[in-house]
C-alpha cells in the first residue's frame, strides 16, 4: 500500500493510521481498518458522558506543564438538512439515536472518541422563533480588511477527535453510512447530508510527518517536536480560557458554548526561508520574547504560560523600535476580560486538506470556543493590527504584522454548541 510512496516496508501501524486520517481517502481508511488488531478501543456508557459537549480537558492528555494535548486525529463533518423548514421529530429522534450509538461505541476519552455537534445561525433561521437574546450567534463575516472568506453556512458541524486514528475513522465511516458498526456497536448513519468532510492532526511528530505539502518549503523545516506546522507550541494553559469560562451560564442553552471554525491556508516558504529563528519568535510572540531570549526551540521552556501579557503594552513602541510586532502580542490585548481572564479557548489543529481540491496543501482548522462569538471577533480584529500600520509604515497590512503574511483565511463558520441534553436538532428555545 503506497500511502506516501516512501517505500518503507516496516511502517508501523500507527504511522499508517496517522497518514490515513490526514489523507482521508477511502482507500487509506480501508487500509486502516485492516490493521486494527492490537489494543482495543475502549467502549462507552451513554449515561457516563459529561453534560457539556465541549468538556474535553479532563479527558485528554496533558504535558508536564499541564497544557492540554489535543487529540491527535480530528475530523469535521459539515452537515446539511434537506428542505427549508425546521427538522422533523423523526429526524430529531434519528440523530439522537446516532449520537447515542456513538456514545455507546466509544469511551469519552482521547483513547476512545470525543465528539460534539454544533449548529449555525442558518440552522436556527429554519425556525420562526429566534434564539434567546442572550445567545450571541451572529452571521459569520469577514473580520479583516484583507480577507474574503467563503462563509460556511451548513446547518451543523460534527467534530470527532481521538488519539486513535482507527477510532475516528471508523466512527466517521459509520456516520457517513459506509459501514454499519463502529467499535463493534451498530451505528445508524447521520440523517443529514455530509456537505464537507475536513480532516486534520495535531501534536509532536505529525506536522513534521505531513510537511510534504504545498505551502511548506522543500527543505522540510518543520521540527519533529513541533505540534504545529509553524514550529511553536500554542495554547499554553495560562493563555487559554477554561471550559467553565466559555460555558453559557443561563437560559435553555446553559452548559453550551459558541464555536467559530475557520480554515486557513498556510504559506510558510518565507516564514522558514527568509526569517531567522529570532525573527520568527518576534512575529509569533513579540519582539520582547526575542530580545529576552524567552523562547527555546518550539517553546516548551515557556511552561504553562507564553508570558505574552508582559508585552502587550509594548505593542506601539515595539512597532516603532523593531518595525515588527508579534501575533500573540496583538491578539492578547483583546483576549482578556476586565479581571484579566482569557476569553477564548482555542482548539486548532493542522491539516493538509485543500477544501475543494484533492491537493495536499498546508492548512489549519481553527475551532475556538467562547461564551459569545463577539469575543472571537474582537480578538481577531485586534490581531489585524490595523492600528499598528498607522503607527509606522514598517508594519504593513500583512507584512511585519505578526504572522499575517503567512496565513490566508479561506473559510469561516459560527456555531452554537448546545449542552448534551439539547444536542439533537434543538429548537431555538428548547424546554
323 binds another protein, rule: CB under 8 A: yes
d(C-alpha 203, C-alpha 208), whole Å:
10
Those residues whose C-beta lies under 8 Å from the C-beta of residue 171, and which sit 6 or more positions away, are 102, 105, 106, 113, 115, 160, 162, 182, 183, 187
Among 26, 82, 93, 146, binds another protein (CB under 8 A): 146
Residue with smaller CB distance to another protein, 336 or 396: 396
Contact criterion met (CB below 8 Å) for 286 and 311:
yes
Among 397, 421, 427, 430, binds another protein (CB under 8 A): 397
Residue with smaller CB distance to another protein, 55 or 216: 216
- What is the pairing mode between strands 156-162 and 193-201? unpaired
| CB 170 to another protein: min, Å | 31
394 binds another protein, rule: CB under 8 A: yes
Residue ranges in 219-356 assigned as alpha helix (H): 243-246, 269-273, 277-284, 287-291, 315-322, 327-332
Among 354, 364, 366, 411, binds another protein (CB under 8 A): 354
| CB 266 to another protein: min, Å | 10
Residue with smaller CB distance to another protein, 104 or 396: 396
Q: Say how many C-beta atoms besides its own lie within 10 A of residue 15's C-beta.
A: 16
265 binds another protein, rule: CB under 8 A: yes
318 binds another protein, rule: CB under 8 A: no
Residue with smaller CB distance to another protein, 247 or 400: 400
For the chain, counts of helices (H) and of strands (E): 14, 14
Residue with smaller CB distance to another protein, 88 or 392: 392
Among 57, 396, 421, 429, binds another protein (CB under 8 A): 396
Stretch that binds another protein, among 77-85, 90-98, 101-109, 357-365 (CB under 8 A): 357-365
Q: How many residues bind another protein (CB under 8 A)?
A: 31
130 binds another protein, rule: CB under 8 A: no
C-alpha cell at 76: 469535521
361 binds another protein, rule: CB under 8 A: yes
Residue with smaller CB distance to another protein, 15 or 275: 275
151 binds another protein, rule: CB under 8 A: no
Contact criterion met (CB below 8 Å) for 257 and 417:
yes
DSSP three-state, residue 158: strand
- What is the pairing mode between strands 257-266 and 363-370? antiparallel
209 backbone dihedrals φ, ψ, rounded to 5°: -70, -30
For the packed helices 165-175 and 26-33, what is the interaxial angle rounded to 10 degrees?
A: 120
Q: Say how many C-beta atoms besides its own lie within 10 A of residue 277's C-beta.
A: 12
Among 314, 353, 377, 405, binds another protein (CB under 8 A): 405
C-alpha cell at 325: 510586532
Rg of the chain over Cα atoms, rounded to whole angstroms, equals 21
324 binds another protein, rule: CB under 8 A: yes
408 binds another protein, rule: CB under 8 A: yes
386 binds another protein, rule: CB under 8 A: yes
148 binds another protein, rule: CB under 8 A: yes
Residue with cell 427538522: 87
196 binds another protein, rule: CB under 8 A: no
Among 400, 402, 418, 425, binds another protein (CB under 8 A): 400
Residue with smaller CB distance to another protein, 121 or 215: 215
C-alpha cell at 353: 486538506
Look at residues 404, 261, 383, 402 and name the one whose alpha carbon lies nearest to residue 326. 402
Among 123, 124, 322, 376, binds another protein (CB under 8 A): 322
C-alpha cell at 86: 425546521
393 binds another protein, rule: CB under 8 A: yes
Phi-psi group of 280: left, alpha or beta (phi > 0 → left; psi -120 to 50 → alpha; rest → beta): alpha
Among 115, 398, 411, 412, binds another protein (CB under 8 A): 398
| CB 4 to another protein: min, Å | 18
d(C-alpha 27, C-alpha 7), whole Å:
17
- Binding interface with another protein (CB under 8 A): 142, 145-148, 214-215, 265, 267, 270, 322-324, 354, 357, 359, 361, 386, 389-390, 392-394, 396-400, 404-405, 408
Amino acid at each position: 500500500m503506497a500511502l506516501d510512496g516512501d517505500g518503507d516496508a516496516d511502517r508501523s501501524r500507527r504511522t499508517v493510521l496517522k497518514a490515513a486520517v490526514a489523507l482521508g481517502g477511502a482507500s487509506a481508511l480501508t487500509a486502516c481498518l485492516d490493521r486494527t488488531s492490537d489494543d482495543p478501543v475502549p467502549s462507552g456508557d451513554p449515561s457516563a458522558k459529561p453534560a457539556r459537549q465541549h468538556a474535553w480537558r479532563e479527558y485528554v492528555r496533558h504535558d508536564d506543564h499541564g497544557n492540554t494535548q489535543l487529540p491527535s486525529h480530528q475530523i469535521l463533518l459539515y452537515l446539511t438538512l434537506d428542505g427549508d423548514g425546521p427538522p422533523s421529530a423523526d429526524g430529531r429522534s434519528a440523530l439522537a439515536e446516532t449520537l447515542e450509538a456513538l456514545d455507546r461505541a466509544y469511551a469519552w476519552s482521547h483513547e476512545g472518541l470525543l465528539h460534539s455537534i454544533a449548529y449555525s445561525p442558518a440552522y436556527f433561521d429554519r425556525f420562526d422563533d429566534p434564539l434567546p437574546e442572550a445567545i450571541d450567534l451572529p452571521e459569520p463575516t469577514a473580520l479583516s480588511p484583507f480577507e474574503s472568506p467563503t462563509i460556511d453556512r451548513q446547518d451543523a458541524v460534527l467534530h470527532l477527535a481521538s488519539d486513535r486514528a482507527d477510532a475516528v475513522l471508523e466512527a466517521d465511516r459509520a456516520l457517513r453510512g459506509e459501514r454499519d458498526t463502529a467499535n463493534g456497536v451498530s451505528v445508524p448513519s447521520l440523517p443529514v447530508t455530509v456537505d464537507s468532510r475536513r480532516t486534520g492532526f495535531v501534536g509532536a511528530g505529525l506536522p513534521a510527518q505531513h510537511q510534504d505539502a504545498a505551502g511548506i518549503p522543500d527543505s522540510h523545516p518543520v521540527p519533529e517536536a513541533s505540534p504545529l506546522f509553524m514550529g511553536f507550541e500554542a495554547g499554553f494553559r495560562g493563555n487559554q480560557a477554561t471550559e467553565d469560562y466559555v460555558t453559557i451560564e443561563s437560559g435553555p442553552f446553559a452548559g453550551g458554548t459558541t464555536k467559530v471554525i475557520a480554515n486557513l491556508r498556510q504559506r510558510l516558504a518565507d516564514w522558514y526561508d527568509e526569517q531567522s529563528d529570532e525573527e520568527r519568535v518576534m512575529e509569533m510572540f513579540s519582539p520582547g520574547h526575542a530580545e529576552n531570549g524567552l523562547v527555546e526551540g518550539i517553546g516548551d521552556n515557556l511552561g504553562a504560560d507564553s508570558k505574552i501579557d508582559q508585552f502587550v503594552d509594548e505593542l506601539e513602541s515595539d512597532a516603532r523600535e523593531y518595525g515588527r510586532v508579534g501575533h500573540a502580542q496583538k491578539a492578547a490585548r483583546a483576549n482578556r476580560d476586565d479581571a484579566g481572564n482569557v476569553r477564548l479557548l482555542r482548539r486548532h489543529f493542522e491539516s493538509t486538506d485543500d477544501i475543494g481540491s484533492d491537493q495536499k496543501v498546508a492548512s489549519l482548522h481553527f475551532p475556538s470556543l467562547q461564551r459569545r462569538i463577539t469575543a472571537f471577533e474582537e480578538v481577531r480584529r485586534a490581531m489585524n493590527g490595523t492600528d499598528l500600520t498607522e503607527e509606522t509604515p514598517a508594519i504593513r497590512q500583512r507584512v511585519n504584522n505578526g504572522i499575517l503574511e503567512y496565513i490566508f483565511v479561506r473559510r469561516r463558520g459560527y456555531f452554537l454548541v448546545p449542552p448534551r441534553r439539547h444536542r439533537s436538532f434543538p429548537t431555538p428555545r428548547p424546554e
